[in-house]
Amino acid sequence: MTISNLNLVGTLPLLFLSAWACGLLLVDLWIPGDRKHMTGWMALSGFAITFFWVSSNLGQREEAFGGMLAIDGFSNLLHLVFLGSGILATLLALNYLKQHDIERGEFYPLMLFSVVGMMIMSMAKDLIVVFLALEMLSIPLYVLVGFARTRADSEESALKYFLLGAFSSAFQVYGIALIYGATQATGFAAIGDAVAISGASPLLLAGIGLMLVGLAFKVSAVPLHMWTPDVYQGAPSVVTGFMSVGAKAAGFAAIVRIFFSAFHSLAADWAPVIVLFAVLSTVIGNVAAISQTSIKRMLAFSSIAHAGYVFVAIVPGGYGALSDFAASAVIFYLAAYGLTNIGAWSVVIAVDHADGMGSDISNYAGLARRSPGLAAAMTLFMLSLTGLPPTMGFVAKFYVFRAALAAGYTWLVVVGVVTVLISAYYYLRVIVVMWMNSGDGQVVTPRALNFTVGVTAAATLVLGLLPGPLMAIVESSVRGLF
C-alpha cells in the first residue's frame, strides 16, 4: 500500500472528530466541576464544524485506507444524520445533566466517540471495520445509558443493554468468521466477487444469518427487540433520544452497504428474511405500543415499528435497478425519523422535568393550555411519526412504500399501511390528551430545549411541505453507488 491510497484528506472530517474527542478528554481535566457545560459547548462546536465540513462536500466518490472505507454520498448523508442527532442531543444534555445532578465532563467525549463509531459504520467496506465500528458506537452507549448511575433503573437498563449487546456482538463475529470461511475475504468487493462465482453455500448463508442477528439487534427489529422498552425507559432521556436515532441509523447503514454490495447476487436468499423482519417489527411494534401508559415505552415500541418500515425500504434493494431507489428511501426515512424522534424526546424531557409531572401519557393532559408551543410541536411530531401530511414522516413513508411497490411487494405495502392505521390510535391519543383533557402544572423549558424543539418542528414541517430539494440531493448522492 502506498500513501496515495490511504487518502487521509478524504477522511479528514472523521479524523478531525476523533482527534477532537481525544483532545476534549484532556481539556476537560482543567475545567472545574461546576462548569462542565463548557465541555458540552466544545463538543457541540466539534460536531458543528464536522457537520458543515461534511455537508460542504456531499457528492464525493472516494475510497480510503486501501478500500476499507468508502467516502460517498451515502456515507456523507448519514454522517449528517449522526452529527445532527449529536448536536441536538448535546444541546439537550447541557441542561438535562445539571438538572438530574449527573453532570460529568466525560459525557460529551463519550458521545463524540459514539458518533465517530457511527460514522465509520456508514463508511465501512470491510467486515472487520463493520465489527469495530459497531463496538465503537455501542460501548460508549452502554456507559451513557448507565450515566445516571445512582438511579437503579438506569443501572438496570445499562446492564441489560450491555449483556444483550455483547451477546449479539458475539453472534456477529461468529457470522463474520463463517463468511470469511466461505469466501476467504472480508472486504465487500472481494466477498461480492467470491459469492458471484460460488453462489450460496450453507456455510455462507449461516454466516449471513448470524451477522444479521447482530445488526438487527442494534436497530431493534422484532424478534431481537426485547431490550428496547426497558433500556429506553431507564436510560437518561437525552441518551435515549440520541441512541434511538444514531444507533438505528448506523445499523441500517451497515445493513444497506453489506447487502446491496457484498451479497447483492444472493437477494433471493436474504430478501425473505428482511421481509420477515419488516412484517414482524411493524405489526408487533405497533400493536404492543397501544397498551403502553408510559410515553417512553410507547416511543420505544414506536421505534421498533419504525425499524420495520426501514426494512420495507431495504427489500427492493435486491432488485438491481431499484437499489439506488431503496437506498435513498432508507436515507430519507432515517433523516425524517431522526428529526421527529429527537423532537419528541425533547418534549418528553421538558414534561418530565416539570413539577408534578412524569412520563405517563396522562401527564400530558392539558399541555396545550399550559404550554401551547410545546403542545403544537408535539402534535406535529406525533403526526409525523404516524405518517400523516403535511409532515416529513408522511413523505418518508410515501417513498418507502413507493420503493416496495416498484419491486412488486404490494402485500407488504398493504401490511405497512394497515400498521400505520394501527399506530394512528396511540399517536393521536397523545394529541387528544394534550388538547382535549385538562390538567395542571407549569412547564418551564430552558432555552436550549426550546431551540431543539423549534428546529426539529420547523424541519419536520418544512421538509414535509417541500421534500423535493432534499430528495433530489439524496437521489443524486447515492445514484449508481449500489
Partner 1 sequence: MTAELIIFVLLAVIAVAAALGMLLSSNAIYSALFLVVNFGVVATFYLLLGAPFIAMVQVTVYAGAIMVLFLFVIMLLGAERLRHPNQVLSWQQPLAVVLVMALLGFAGYVVSMQGLASPPVDVANTVSYGSPAAIGELLFREYLFPFEATSLLLLSAMVGVVVLTAVDARRGVSRGVSRDRRS
* Residue numbers at the binding site for partner 1 (CB under 8 A): 1, 6, 18, 21-22, 25, 33, 64-66, 68-69, 104, 106, 109-110, 113-114, 116-117, 120, 126, 128-129, 132-133, 135-136, 139-140, 142-143, 146-147, 149-150, 181-182, 184, 201-203, 206
Residue in 303, 285, 136, 311 with CA at minimum distance from that of residue 233: 303
Q: How far is the CB of 204 from partner 1 (least distance, A)?
A: 9
Using the minimum distance from each CB to partner 1, give the nearer residue, 171 or 337: 171
Using the minimum distance from each CB to partner 1, give the nearer residue, 168 or 302: 168
Q: How far is the CB of 181 from partner 1 (least distance, A)?
A: 7
Specify the DSSP class assigned to residue 445. -
What is the SS3 assignment for 70? strand
Q: How far is the CB of 143 from partner 1 (least distance, A)?
A: 4
Please give the Cα distance from 398 to 406 (Å, whole number).
Answer: 12
Provide the greatest CA pair distance for the chain.
69
Specify the DSSP class assigned to residue 354. S
Sign of CA dihedral 465, 469, 470, 476: positive
- Cα–Cα separations (whole angstroms), residue 318 to 134, 182, 282: 24, 21, 21
Q: How far is the CB of 180 from partner 1 (least distance, A)?
A: 9
Instruction: Give CA angle at 119 (118, 122), nearest 5°.
Output: 90
What is the SS3 assignment for 358? coil
Please give the Cα distance from 56 to 260 (Å, whole number).
Answer: 26
Q: How far is the CB of 128 from partner 1 (least distance, A)?
A: 5
Using the minimum distance from each CB to partner 1, give the nearer residue, 64 or 77: 64
Using the minimum distance from each CB to partner 1, give the nearer residue, 117 or 214: 117
Please give the Cα distance from 273 to 187 (Å, whole number).
Answer: 23
Please give the Cα distance from 441 to 354 (Å, whole number).
Answer: 7
Using the minimum distance from each CB to partner 1, give the nearer residue, 206 or 458: 206
Using the minimum distance from each CB to partner 1, give the nearer residue, 149 or 447: 149
- Name residue 71's beta-bridge partners: 62
C-beta of residue 214 within 8 angstroms of C-beta of residue 178: no
Please give the Cα distance from 271 to 289 (Å, whole number).
Answer: 27
Using the minimum distance from each CB to partner 1, give the nearer residue, 64 or 81: 64
Side chain identity at 39, as an amino acid letter? Answer: T
Q: How far is the CB of 305 from partner 1 (least distance, A)?
A: 30
Using the minimum distance from each CB to partner 1, give the nearer residue, 146 or 343: 146
| Half-sphere CA count of 106, side-chain side, radius 13 A | 8
Please give the Cα distance from 115 to 141 (Å, whole number).
Answer: 10
What is the SS3 assignment for 233? helix
Sign of CA dihedral 413, 249, 220, 455: negative
Using the minimum distance from each CB to partner 1, give the nearer residue, 181 or 372: 181
The three three-digit cell numbers of residue 181, written as one number: 470461511
Q: How far is the CB of 152 from partner 1 (least distance, A)?
A: 8
Q: How far is the CB of 6 from partner 1 (least distance, A)?
A: 8
Q: How far is the CB of 158 from partner 1 (least distance, A)?
A: 8
Q: How far is the CB of 23 from partner 1 (least distance, A)?
A: 12
Q: How far is the CB of 177 from partner 1 (least distance, A)?
A: 13
Using the minimum distance from each CB to partner 1, give the nearer residue, 140 or 366: 140
Please give the Cα distance from 115 to 76 (Å, whole number).
Answer: 13
Using the minimum distance from each CB to partner 1, give the nearer residue, 143 or 380: 143
C-beta of residue 281 within 8 angstroms of C-beta of residue 305: yes
Residue in 375, 372, 296, 395 with CA at minimum distance from that of residue 341: 296
